[in-house]
């Protein structure tokens, strides 16, 4: 997991607003982006929290370099997203996120809970009266694969979650298959942008690589998809 002090208390007023790379400075990312404390002023809004779980992974396959293992899941509505969900009234955001992740993917509340050191951003959607918190948490590769194996045993598996997926972080020789193709799936809300922001924040992909994969995703999808 990320962060040097997983048990320490982080003053909420010190939770930062993230730096957004130029290639992702679009309305779906920047609109409503604010500090955690500022967002909490909208007391009548509902809150939700989600987390990107990732692990370092070395090596490569015939298709490309692994770089890392990054988890998303197929939701009940047919879209891809990150584990998490609505926070109950009066519930701490981190406690609610860990609860939702335990229900959806069998996340361990004792072995590797998400903490405030994993916090990344807060975005307010005024049209929906929603406050959306996003966390990025690092685990070991063994923890990651164990989570994949145990996900089908989770309470909400087959109800809210229909399976986990590893995001292909490479681009294949035809310049489209791999991550560019994956980005043309249907994602819930801003989950696609959050995925790319997480890759930037963790240094898995550089800003130039993110810009390149966005271009290929948007401009090469009508070309031949071959190995």
Q: How far is it, in rounded angstroms, from Cα 143 to Cα 154?
A: 16
**Does the pLDDT of residue 224 top 90, yes or no?**
no
What pLDDT does residue 6 have?
42
What pLDDT does residue 13 have?
84
Write out the DSSP string of 74-127: EETTS-EE-SEEEPPTT--HHHHHHHHHHHHH---TTTS---GGGEEEEEEETT
**Residue among 35, 63, 19 nearest 203 (CA):** 19
**227 in a structural domain:** no
**205 in a structural domain:** yes
Token pair of 10, please? 């982080």
**1 in a structural domain:** no
**Does the pLDDT of residue 149 top 50, yes or no?**
yes
**25 in a structural domain:** yes
pLDDT band (50, 70, 90) for residue 225: low
**5 in a structural domain:** no
**225 in a structural domain:** no
- Domains held by the chain: number: 1
Q: What is the CATH number of the domain that holds 98?
A: 3.90.79.10
pLDDT band (50, 70, 90) for residue 220: confident
pTM over 0.85: yes
Asked if residue 142 lies in contact with residue 50, where contact means CB atoms within 8 angstroms, the answer is no
**31 in a structural domain:** yes
Q: In whole numbers, what is the pLDDT of the chain averaged over residues?
A: 91
- Please tell me which residue, 222 or 49, carries the higher pLDDT value: 49
**Does the pLDDT of residue 216 top 80, yes or no?**
yes
Name 109's Cβ contacts closer than 8 Å, sequence gap at least 6. 98, 99, 102
**3 in a structural domain:** no
Strand 130-138 relative to strand 46-56: parallel, antiparallel, unpaired? parallel
Q: What 8-state DSSP symbol labels residue 11?
A: P
**Does the pLDDT of residue 2 top 50, yes or no?**
no
Asked if residue 107 lies in contact with residue 95, where contact means CB atoms within 8 angstroms, the answer is no
**Does the pLDDT of residue 111 top 80, yes or no?**
no
What pLDDT does residue 4 have?
37
The whole-number average pLDDT for the span 171-194 is 95
Domain of residue 208 covers 16-219
**Does the pLDDT of residue 135 top 90, yes or no?**
yes
């Amino acid at each position: 997991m990320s962060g040097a002090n997983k048990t320490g208390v982080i003053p909420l007023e010190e939770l930062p607003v993230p730096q957004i790379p130029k290639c992702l400075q679009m309305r779906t990312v920047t609109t409503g982006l604010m500090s955690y404390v500022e967002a909490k002023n909208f007391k009548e809004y509902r809150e939700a929290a989600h987390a990107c779980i990732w692990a370092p992974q070395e090596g490569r396959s015939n298709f490309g370099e692994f770089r890392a293992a990054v988890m998303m899941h197929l939701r009940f509505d047919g879209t891809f997203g990150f584990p998490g969900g609505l926070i109950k009234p009066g519930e701490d955001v981190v406690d609610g996120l860990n609860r939702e992740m335990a229900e959806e993917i069998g996340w361990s509340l004792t072995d590797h809970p998400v903490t405030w050191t994993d916090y990344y951003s807060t975005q307010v959607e005024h049209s929906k009266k929603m406050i959306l918190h996003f966390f990025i948490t690092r685990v070991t590769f063994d923890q990651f694969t164990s989570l994949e194996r145990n996900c089908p045993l989770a309470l909400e598996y087959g109800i809210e979650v229909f399976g986990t997926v590893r995001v292909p972080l490479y681009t294949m020789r035809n310049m489209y298959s791999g991550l560019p193709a994956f980005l043309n799936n249907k994602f819930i809300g801003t989950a696609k942008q959050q995925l790319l922001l997480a890759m930037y924040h963790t240094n898995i992909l550089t800003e130039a690589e993110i810009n390149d994969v966005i271009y290929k995703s948007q401009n090469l999808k009508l070309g031949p998809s071959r190995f």
